[in-house]
């Protein structure tokens, strides 16, 4: 098989975690290939969403808990008027609402020192890519799996947690133009959803419709596709179609029943359905709900989080559980490392090693970027010392992350 690229670090997946990992790797001086199956960078953050959570912890003082590359992304978006800070309705902490098109460009700029391969899927055991020109080999001693589905870890035979019955639902988001948000409060909207929910077949009676950087344009996170496995190709396909069907029902409900939405126009549904949870790595450490709620720290903390457990699998509502005393907790480097032998592999982003509950707190994009930066920095350190990622000196790793602005 022809070799398309050979270097130090391959990053599979160009979402929040993968982009941050690739930037961190390249800034550490390593040769990095970032492979993304879509035609743009940003992943779920660009395709489905428009608000970063996890940068700020909730509570009266609401400290910022993510710095480094993630915060640099926010600053670049603020600088061009493409983002603003927005208090969260349910108390998940202040969010950073941004224009997804601007986010794609920011990642294009930040990855200038990286070889970026779009429209390509990493396959094999992480050593091949499937492209429009067929299959090629790619070679590097270290691979960061930032696919969100732990796909490369799974392909390479590392232990992963299969999606089970307690799997967070998927969501197709959409944007509407021509809306007067001031005509209906969030509480009034929820009351109307309760009232008309059965008639319109609305799967969820809470959720968020919020303002964007553009006047009159709102982003809606309302649909709920439950009971389908995003790692089953046929079920994922059914989920995409069901998500669009539900989005259409919500649009009809909003136009017909909600003041301020009478002339609303559907600008588009999300490029793909949003997957909250799929395969998770079974790592050297499994983050638990107790770690989260107790605000526990670890000697190898590489990212910090104050977000509540936000579990969408409880019927038509959402379960929120907060870190005690408005605290924050640490995400250990061990949550990114496969438990058993898997040479050269680090995982970052929403497929970190965590229980269902802990995952429901640690999966926000702020934390995914922080985990990505840590994984990319660790990958570069492993290459520098010709070591396995698992053997990287965590004090050196934490020192380098802090020096680059990370908050640990
Ligand atoms: C509906 C919904 C609402 C949410 N709301 C919020 C919110 O408001 N704020 C917030 O902060 N978080 C939110 N989250 C959580 C958050 O968006 C995700 O946890 C986070 O974006 C995951 O980032 P990631 O980098 O791990 O994965 P992703 O952003 O999903 O990136 C993974 C990338 O890998 C690519 N890929 C997959 N397999 C391969 C392969 N084999 N080869 C190459 N590329 C591959 C994919 O195309 C994708 O671009 C929400 C999630 C969902 C689904």
At residue 206 the predicted structure's pLDDT band, cuts being 50, 70 and 90, is confident
Is 70 exceeded by the pLDDT of residue 159? yes
Residues 6+ apart with CB under 8 A from 23: 69, 110, 111, 113, 114, 373, 376
Give me the DSSP letters along 192-212.
Answer: HHHHHHHHHT-S-S--EEEE-
Q: d(Cα 223, Cα 202) in Å, to the nearest integer?
A: 8
Measure the CA dihedral 41/45/46/49, to 10°. 170
**Ligand 1 pocket check: which of 131, 147, 275 to mutate, most ligand atoms within 8 Å of Cβ?**
147
* 187: exposed, middle or buried (Cβ count in 10 Å: 0-12, 13-18, 19+): exposed
pLDDT in tens, 49-74: 999 999 999 988 889 999 999 999 99
d(CA 42, ligand 1 centre) in Å: 8
Nearest residue (CA) to ligand 1, atom 48: 43
d(CA 234, ligand 1 centre) in Å: 20
Structural tokens at position 202:
């609305």
d(CA 165, ligand 1 centre) in Å: 21
* Sequence ranges of the domains in the chain: 3-165+277-403, 174-269
Phi/psi at 27 (nearest 5 deg)? -65, -20
Which amino acids bring their CB within 6 angstroms of ligand 1?
12-18, 35-38, 43-45, 48-49, 51-54, 121-122, 146-149, 151, 171, 221, 274-276, 349-350, 363-365, 368
Give the SS3 label for residue 140: coil
Give the DSSP letter of residue 303: E
Nearest ligand 1 atom to the CA of 272 is 47
Give the DSSP letter of residue 254: H
Phi/psi at 10 (nearest 5 deg)? -105, 130
* In contact, 174 and 269? CB cutoff 8 Å: yes
pLDDT in tens, 285-300: 999 999 999 999 999 9
Nearest ligand 1 atom to the CA of 350 is 26
d(CA 44, ligand 1 centre) in Å: 4
**Please, what's the b/e burial string for 356-373 (b: 16 or more CB within 10 A of its CB; e: otherwise)?**
bbbbbbbbbbbbbbbbbb
Over pLDDT 70: what percentage of the chain?
A: 98
d(CA 15, ligand 1 centre) in Å: 6
Is 70 exceeded by the pLDDT of residue 143? yes
Nearest ligand 1 atom to the CA of 121 is 42
d(CA 364, ligand 1 centre) in Å: 9
Nearest ligand 1 atom to the CA of 17 is 25
- Which alpha helices (H) appear in 40-80, and where do they start and end? 44-47, 68-79
Is the CATH number of domain 3-165+277-403 3.50.50.60? yes
Nearest residue (CA) to ligand 1, atom 5: 49
Cα atoms in the Cβ-side hemisphere of radius 13 Å centred on 154: 19
* In contact, 371 and 349? CB cutoff 8 Å: yes
* In contact, 173 and 97? CB cutoff 8 Å: no
Nearest ligand 1 atom to the CA of 16 is 25
Q: What is the pLDDT of residue 151?
A: 98
* In contact, 333 and 394? CB cutoff 8 Å: yes
Structural tokens at position 140:
């590097």
d(CA 12, ligand 1 centre) in Å: 13
d(CA 16, ligand 1 centre) in Å: 7
Structural tokens at position 232:
């089953």
Q: What is the pLDDT of residue 316?
A: 63
**Ligand 1 pocket check: which of 4, 14, 15 to mutate, most ligand atoms within 8 Å of Cβ?**
15
| Pick from 41, 121, 92: nearest CA to 307 | 92
Ranges 7-11, 210-214, 326-330, 341-345: which has the least confidence? 341-345
């Amino acid at each position: 098989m022809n070799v398309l690229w050979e270097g130090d670090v391959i990053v599979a997946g160009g979402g929040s975690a993968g982009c941050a990992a690739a930037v961190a790797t390249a800034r550490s001086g390593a040769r990095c290939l970032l492979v993304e199956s879509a035609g743009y960078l940003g992943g779920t953050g660009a395709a489905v969403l428009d608000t970063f959570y996890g940068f700020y912890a909730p509570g009266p003082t609401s400290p910022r808990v993510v710095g480094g590359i993630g915060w640099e992304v926010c600053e670049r978006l603020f600088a061009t008027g493409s983002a603003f800070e927005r208090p969260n309705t349910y108390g998940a902490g202040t969010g950073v609402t941004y224009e997804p098109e601007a986010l794609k460009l920011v990642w294009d700029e930040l990855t200038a020192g990286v070889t970026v391969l779009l429209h390509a899927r990493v396959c094999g055991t992480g050593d091949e890519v499937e492209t429009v020109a067929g299959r090629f080999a790619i070679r590097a001693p270290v691979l960061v799996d930032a696919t969100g589905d732990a796909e490369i870890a799974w392909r390479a035979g590392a232990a992963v947690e299969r999606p089970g019955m307690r799997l967070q639902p998927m969501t197709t988001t959409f944007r509407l133009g021509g809306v007067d948000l001031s005509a209906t409060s969030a509480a009034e909207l929820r009351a109307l959803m309760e009232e008309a929910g059965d008639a319109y077949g609305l799967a969820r009676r809470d959720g968020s419709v919020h303002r964007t950087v553009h006047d009159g344009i709102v982003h809606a996170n309302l649909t709920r596709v439950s009971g389908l496995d995003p790692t089953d190709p046929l079920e994922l396909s059914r989920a995409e179609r069901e998500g669009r069907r539900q989005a259409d029902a919500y649009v009809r409900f909003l136009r017909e029943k909600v003041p301020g939405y009478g002339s609303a126009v559907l600008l588009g549904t999300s490029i793909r359905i949003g997957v909250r949870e799929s395969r998770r790595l079974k790592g050297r450490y499994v983050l638990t709900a107790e770690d989260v709620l107790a605000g526990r720290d670890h000697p190898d903390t590489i990212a910090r989080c104050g977000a509540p457990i936000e579990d969408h699998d409880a019927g038509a509502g959402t379960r929120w559980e907060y870190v005690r005393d408005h605290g924050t907790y640490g995400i250990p480097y061990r949550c990114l490392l496969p438990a058993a032998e898997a040479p050269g592999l680090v995982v970052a982003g929403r497929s970190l090693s965590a229980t269902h509950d802990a995952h429901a707190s640690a999966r926000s994009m702020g934390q995914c970027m922080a985990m990505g930066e840590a994984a990319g920095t660790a990958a570069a350190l492993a290459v520098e010392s010709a070591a396995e990622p698992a053997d990287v000196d965590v004090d050196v790793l934490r020192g380098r992350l802090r020096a680059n602005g990370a908050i640990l």
